[in-house]
Amino acid sequence: MVSLRARSFVLAALVALATASPTNLETRTIHERRVAPAPGFIDLGPAPADDQLKLRIALKSTDIVGLEKELMAVSDPSSTRYGQHLTPEQVAEYVKPTADTLSAVTSWLDSNNIASTSISPAGDLLQIQIPVSKANSLLSAEFSLFKHANSNETNIRTLQYSLPASLAPHVAYLHPTTSFTTSILPPNPKLKLLNKVGTKRAVDASCLEEATPACLQELYGIPSAPATQKNNVLGVSAFSRQFAIFEDLQSFLTELRPDIDPTTRFDVLPVDGGANTQLPSNAGLEANLDIQYTVGLATNVPVTFIAVGDRTTDGVFGFVDEVNALIALSPAERPTVLTTSYGFNEFQLTQPVAQGLCNAYLQLTVLGTSILFASGDGGVGGVRANDTCTVFNPTEPAGCPWITTVGATELIEGDGGLHESGVAFSSGGFSNHFATPDYQKQDIDQFIASLDGQYDGQYNASGRGFPDVSALGMNFVVYSDRFSTLVGGTSASSPIFASIISLLNDELIGKGKSPLGFLNPFLYSAAGRAALSDITNGTNPSCGTDGFSATSGWDPITGLGTPNYAKLRQAVGLA
Ligand SMILES: *[C@@H]1O[C@H](CO)[C@@H](O)[C@H](O)[C@H]1NC(C)=O
Ligand SMILES: *[C@@H]1O[C@H](CO)[C@@H](O)[C@H](O)[C@H]1NC(C)=O
Ligand SMILES: *[C@@H]1O[C@H](CO)[C@@H](O)[C@H](O)[C@H]1NC(C)=O
Ligand SMILES: *[C@@H]1O[C@H](CO)[C@@H](O)[C@H](O)[C@H]1NC(C)=O
């Protein structure tokens, strides 16, 4: 295997010399490199020379830091521009490449006879298609076949690639090259299948044994009165061919929200060839959970199910394609809140590619969309429980500082009655890809000081901490394929928190105010944290450790705490 790889490398180098154009002779610098493939991947040797590679070239933006400053200016409640969300045209001015960058990249492609197409609204992402042999010579790379041992999925990737020295400053990254991905899944695909029952049962008023819309309304003070605003869409992301079934929603509403029209529906926005098949046997438990705890909680808020299909162009599961599709919508159709219960482990992407994904969320949230993500269901071990990790696995995109990550709680019976506690599966920790943002710096410092050296070296003390907030994540009654099932996971927590933000936005828009947009500067402010119930008990064990412990103040299991609708209403100026 080793000698085979060496031979192919020599061949590729010869081809490169034979067809070298003046630019090819320029000094090249290594643009991205990793010493080994991502955990779980095995090198099967050189990729077939004729295989076609679709590569995305991410061009450096004119001024991403400027756009981050704009985001803070419109999202920090103490700012004079609070709530003055930007337009897509304003965003594009920051995100588009400079004329110099564009011409450097296009002349490099032209001189190598490579055609490109723009695949992003601001023109910062180009796509090219070239055979492996040409990619190897153009990029001084060695594209090989890598198999993921558990899933058997194969990736054509290289451990390093180079660019002409004069081009390098203009390019953020080429993808897929050194990132290794497997299919994304809901944080917990089967969720927690606790039992499967027929129909009718007594409704538990406390949320302890069975969580329903009624007990969540009670627990968090969520109003049941119908929302009134039409241009206040709650977006629910769906990937992995997860379909939400109207018939299941109707059964759910009939039994658990008898006060609202059981035929209440949601819209479907297909992206990348996505669909929402209505065959009951195709029901996705995750999709049904996400729809039932948005339509069923954010009463009368228009819900759009964003069905991302398989024809993705971004190389990151369609996550960026989804954002681009939402940016392209009219302001009336664009969700004011987006909830996503899918994610992956951070080690799958390189930092530049993760940064590109995070920049996409930056562009969407600065337009006024609150973006919420489930934190994952593997405690400190990542999206899934993991016994083999020696260092903690942060999840993605949870670590992107421009989204609000939601962890999970459970109800515990103790002295003085029921109270919420961080639940063991709630993923949380510190990103290796993103530094601690200013809005949470004090909280992170305080939490890390409280660890007193525990887990030093197993987590990144200068990383962005997550989750930001939490909500109940256990024992949800969900209708799927004509049965009701009990499920759990941070997959449930994110739709609940998102529904609450949508109801607040409905009231704000009704009063002629802006929707909340990027939430974190508000949530971490004195007013925001006072509107959350601090959860101070619970741990999130994995990687053979007890995990972190919930404490008073922010912690990497339950964040700042769980919502209190009446207090949030007051904190956003509605009361
Ligand atoms: C992967 O391939 C091996 C060997 O062919 C097989 O035993 C295993 O079941 C496959 N795993 C999956 C998830 O398909
Ligand atoms: C568990 O973590 C280790 C080390 O981070 C990693 O190699 C492995 O792929 C992970 N396993 C799963 C199932 O995610
Ligand atoms: C820890 O986080 C910082 C800030 O994001 C980053 O620069 C550094 O590379 C990370 N360390 C590791 C070991 O990943
Ligand atoms: C605290 O959490 C642990 C699980 O981490 C649980 O066993 C215990 O009952 C909880 N105690 C209280 C007082 O909530």
The predicted pLDDT at position 110 comes to: 97
462 CB within 6 A, ligand 3? yes
Whether residue 187 is predicted with pLDDT greater than 70 in this model: the reply is no
Which position among 286, 314, 377, 420 bears the catalytic label? 286
409 CB within 6 A, ligand 3? no
Q: Among 34, 345, 380, 545, which residue has the most ligand 2 atoms within 8 Å of its CB, making it the best to mutate? A: 345
Whether residue 190 is predicted with pLDDT greater than 50 in this model: the reply is no
pLDDT tens column, 65-91: 999 999 999 999 999 999 999 999 999
Whether residue 331 is predicted with pLDDT greater than 60 in this model: the reply is yes
The predicted pLDDT at position 240 comes to: 87
Picking from 455, 472, 370, the residue whose alpha carbon sits closest to that of residue 420 is: 472
345 CB within 6 A, ligand 3? no
Active site residue 100: no
Whether residue 268 is predicted with pLDDT greater than 70 in this model: the reply is yes
Q: How many Cβ atoms from other residues are within 10 Å of residue 575's Cβ?
A: 10
* Atom 3 (ligand 4) nearest CA: 538
CB contact set of 44 (below 8 Å; sequence gap of 6+): 144, 145, 146, 147, 154
**d(CA 39, ligand 2 centre) in Å:** 6
553 is in an annotated binding site: yes
Q: For 468, which DSSP code? A: S
Q: How many Cβ atoms from other residues are within 10 Å of residue 344's Cβ?
A: 23
Picking from 380, 361, 383, 382, the residue whose alpha carbon sits closest to that of residue 370 is: 361
107 CB within 6 A, ligand 3? no
The predicted pLDDT at position 203 comes to: 57
Picking from 4, 328, 333, 350, the residue whose alpha carbon sits closest to that of residue 144 is: 4
Strands (E), 491-543: 532-533
* Atom 3 (ligand 2) nearest CA: 389
Whether residue 3 is predicted with pLDDT greater than 60 in this model: the reply is no
87 CB within 6 A, ligand 3? no
Residue 214, token pair as written in the block: 């009624």
Distance CA 388, CA 517 (A): 39
Q: What residue has token string 């930001």?
A: 468
**d(CA 366, ligand 3 centre) in Å:** 26
The predicted pLDDT at position 170 comes to: 98
Q: Judge whether 41 and 48 are in contact, CB under 8 Å.
A: no
Q: Judge whether 327 and 360 are in contact, CB under 8 Å.
A: no
535 is in an annotated binding site: yes
Whether residue 431 is predicted with pLDDT greater than 80 in this model: the reply is yes
Whether residue 438 is predicted with pLDDT greater than 90 in this model: the reply is yes
Cβ-based burial of 138 (10 A; exposed 0-12, middle 13-18, buried ≥19): buried
Picking from 348, 351, 359, the residue whose alpha carbon sits closest to that of residue 317 is: 348
pLDDT tens column, 390-403: 999 999 999 999 99
199 CB within 6 A, ligand 1? no
The predicted pLDDT at position 416 comes to: 81
Whether residue 341 is predicted with pLDDT greater than 80 in this model: the reply is yes
Q: What residue has token string 């985001």?
A: 71
Which position among 142, 290, 396, 420 bears the catalytic label? 290
State mean pLDDT over 550-558.
Answer: 98
Q: Which residues pair with 563 in a beta bridge?
A: 532
Residue 355: HSE in the Cβ half-sphere, 13 Å Cα cutoff: 18
End-to-end C-alpha distance for the chain, whole angstroms? 70
557 is in an annotated binding site: no
Q: Which ligand is nearest to the CA of 426?
A: 4
The predicted pLDDT at position 12 comes to: 33
Active site residue 290: yes
